[in-house]
Amino acid sequence: MSAKSNRARRIAAEQLAKQRTAERRRRTLIVSVIALVVLVVAAGIGVAYYRSNQPENVALPKSATLAGVTVGQADAPVTVDVYLDFQCPVCKTFEDESGATLQKYVDEGTVRLVYHPVAYLDRFSSGTKYSSRSSSASGCASDAGKFPEFLTALFGNQPEEGGTGLTDETMISLASKAGITGDTFAECVKDQKYADWTKAVTDEASKSGVTGTPTVKVDGTALENPTTANLTAAIDAAKG
């Protein structure tokens, strides 16, 4: 075979190798572009899903956010979160045993107390959705500046778990004994003005990992056993 033929074959092989390299690069570029497009589309779907699942134009009670109702000074050194359901018997026990202690810390400016009135127990209220209705009503009480008083009144007259719960009229009557008067509160309760807020509070609690009530957190750390003694110790440690 002549030198000329060998040279021609070598040139042909080099050109083929270059073509193959160029083809590989082209395929890699196409795959990269496709992957980028998929990521962008997925991100867009994710954002759209997130936005579609966020509450829009939710009416908020006074002193409330989508997470709950705040009681006490905003600059208090310790934040205590209490996740409760008005139909939860253990929540009533916590309030009976520790409510006054929490209020003392609030009054002295040590604790910023955030109540999260969730509606986990609707399934145990014989179809009347008492957990949701009472939570919504507590938002009406917050508007009146009487959330703690209303909370105490509801727990003091807590209906049997698994029953129909309190009627709107009964909650309105209890509110009047707690110092809430006037037609505004009654209308707010009957219209379930804060039903969407209740749903938002419940959803936010679930997203934060709260699966049961009562759940009590001191500066973000949940108490394993929320007794008054443990609560006091945690608050005193947090305030330094």
- Given a cut of 70, the residues of the chain with pLDDT beneath it are 1-56
Please name every residue paired with 82 in a beta bridge, in sequence order, or none if there are none: 115, 216
Check residue 51 and give its pLDDT.
Answer: 37
Check residue 152 and give its pLDDT.
Answer: 97
Helix (H) or strand (E) holding 51: helix 3-52
Check residue 50 and give its pLDDT.
Answer: 34
pTM more than 0.85: no
Residues 71/149, Cβ–Cβ less than 8 Å:
no
Q: Give 219-230 as a DSSP string.
A: TTEEPSS--HHH
Check residue 21 and give its pLDDT.
Answer: 63
Rounded Cα gap, residues 132 and 168, in angstroms:
12
Check residue 240 and give its pLDDT.
Answer: 83
CATH number of 69-239: 3.40.30.10
Amino acid in the structure at residue 143 = D
Residues 115/151, Cβ–Cβ less than 8 Å:
yes
Helix (H, G, I), strand (E, B) or coil at 69: strand
Rounded Cα gap, residues 84 and 58, in angstroms:
21
Rounded Cα gap, residues 6 and 112, in angstroms:
88
